[in-house]
Chain A
Amino acid sequence: MNLLESLKIALRSLRANPVRSLLTMLGIIIGVASVVTMVAVGQGAQTQVAEQIRTLGSNVLMVQPGTSRQGGARGESGSGHTLSESDATAISELSLVEAAAPSIRGNVQIVAGNRNWNTTVNGTTTAYFFIREWALAQGRYFSEGEEASAGKVALIGRTVAEQLFGNTEAIGGSIRILQVPFRVIGILDEKGPSGTGRDQDDVVFIPISTAKLRLIGSAHQTNREAVAYILAKARPGEGTEPAERQIADLLRQRHRLQPGEEDDFLVTNPAAAMAAERAATRTIAWLLAAIASVSLLVGGISIMNIMLVSVTERTREIGLRMAVGARRRDIRNQFLIEALCLCLLGGLIGLVFGVAVSIAIARLANWPIFLAPEAMLAAIAFSGAVGIFFGYYPARRAAALEPIECLRSE
């Protein structure tokens, strides 16, 4: 008897008891759905984190004012105004640091023609774009002259360009920031959302000199030297820790901190933090995959159970088939294929559910929808393996029956 024939018989007998078949498949459905969802969620989270790390720029260190980790009152970081532009310059001259860029920022409304938009204005230096490996889509960066003379020029992110200029040419256009007109000299490449979900392209960059001159007067900052944070790029090498230590030593020295006195700044490696988060999601994904496997196992056992019932119920059919010439392997294959169909069908339904749930979660979490075909194939293959594994025993039992016993039964 060929495969197609067995398949037909199997599907027919599954159709004969649709509710029972469905209930039997439940374990497999849940198992496969969970596996697919977990893999998708795990990979979605991972790709997202990897993407965020990539958009951050490599070997980027962030120096923020504030108390150190060991400090009692955390949450102060960023509010202490202990970092200055000259700190940034000093950091950039360190041997393990390639570049450093100070930054001050504020949220303001900007206007172009009759359109306006609330965004973040970031005052920094051209080094910032080098550190973050942020290329231009169009135009150019600040010139040295513009940085030195507080030029009223701006680089705008993709989102701002779209909001203020739409389809019209932005380069050379004029935007007003706090009533001050700026000329747009460049549009930055798209970066996408940050680790915290913030739109990184919703930003306007101006030279830090200009920012201090034009914007800070209206802000509540008192120290004109102070910067919000400093970005530094460590030289590629054995990790960023040596550079972190070098920066910390330098700043302690510059801030004249006594031994034993707490740091008044914080050096962090955002990529490392993200990577740690990634490792955590991976662990969770594996844990849930393990739980899913248990439900596949339970599903397999319920398949075995129902197949044993089916063999008992269809003893007479088995006898008749044997009487007209079915060999033992024909009977075995028939029941094996039936178990396989049950599992594969359950696997497919589970797959559909899993994909639906994955998409829903991806939407909710604002992740890229990540459905790995290999993972799906693996899930289906695994449910098939469950079918063969748990279907084998009932199938062999059926095949071992004696024709006369079967025909006499009922």
Chain B
Amino acid sequence: MKLVDAHNLTKTYASGTGTLTALDAVNFSIGAGEFVAIMGPSGSGKTTLMNLVGLLDRPSGGRLILEGEDVTGLSPDRQAGVRNARIGFIFQSYNLLPRSSAIENVELPLVYAGMQRRERRELARRFLSIIGLSGRMDHLPAMLSGGEQQRVAIARAVVNNPALILADEPTGALDSTTGRTVLAIFQKLNTLGKSVLMVTHDEAVARHASRILRIQDGRIVSDAAVEDRIFARDAQREAAGAVS
């Protein structure tokens, strides 16, 4: 059973004159434990695809199967439950709540999962220290660097133990060193069994994945394993110590 199965996934937008097809009957699947990069030029439909897979948006056509369950027609609240328990999001702009501390941001999915405060705190604390931010737990996002904010966002994405991690241009706003740290964390999470789906337009970033999906004008034009995969060794070493 595949983790993600997309059948003729289609998204059209109404535009001034007619309809714009952002995603045109896309078919693909992602197995458990894969690290897939999605590449393509700007406007090709990468973000649209991520939003559909993440149940943030509804497809205009086609079906989406998550772990064997058709989630296309679920009610908004059921979809919220799926996002909460099975998907972790990482955004290019971090999307941390500005008035909440780092640890409170990490706790957020657990809050909606209905976890008790003590347990929640404990878990969030553990993930923040894994990610190397033990000393920043009570900092507001504004007091953290971009890399630190993105690490908080990663901790938030994985704290509820989802099977799938969706990252839309996670390194887009980071310098290359910080970006490598983030990629090292993804690779580590991947070796721990998480499936990662990452959008990027940077070839070098994409090569950290095990497989690359290329899309153009809303269609998948190539789907291949990465031959010369990069392992973010330098950054990995420091991160790995923390992750394991």
Contacts and interface: CB of A to CB of B under 8 A. Distances in A.
B106 to A, nearest CB: 10
B107 to A, nearest CB: 10
Contacts of B81: 325, 327
Nearest to B55: A403
Contacts of A213: none
B56 A321 contact: no
Contacts, number: 61
Interface residues of B, number: 25
27 contacts: A1-B111, A13-B99, A316-B95, A320-B108, A322-B56, A323-B54, A323-B83, A323-B89, A324-B84, A324-B108, A324-B156, A325-B83, A325-B109, A325-B113, A326-B80, A326-B112, A327-B76, A327-B77, A327-B81, A328-B77, A329-B77, A403-B56, A403-B57, A404-B51, A404-B56, A407-B56, A407-B95
Contacts of B156: 324
Q: Which of A5, A12, A324, A403 has the most CB of B within 10 A?
A: A324
Contact of B85 (A321, A325, A402): A325
A199 interface: no
Contacts of A16: 99
Interface in B53-85: 54, 56-57, 76-77, 80-81, 83-85
Given A1-B112, A12-B99, A322-B83, 12 more contacts: A13-B99, A320-B97, A320-B108, A321-B112, A322-B56, A322-B80, A323-B54, A324-B83, A324-B84, A325-B83, A325-B113, A326-B80
A76 interface: no
A8 to B, nearest CB: 9
A330 interface: yes
A13 B85 CA distance: 27
Contacts of B83: 322-325
Please report whether the interface of chain A is mostly helix, strand, loop or mixed according to DSSP.
helix
Contacts of B76: 327-328
Contacts of B91: 407
A325 B84 CA distance: 4
A133 interface: no
Nearest to A8: B104
A407 B166 CA distance: 15
A13 B100 CA distance: 10
Contacts of A407: 56, 91, 95
B95 A5 contact: no
Interface string B94-122: 01010110000000110111100000000
A317 B51 contact: no
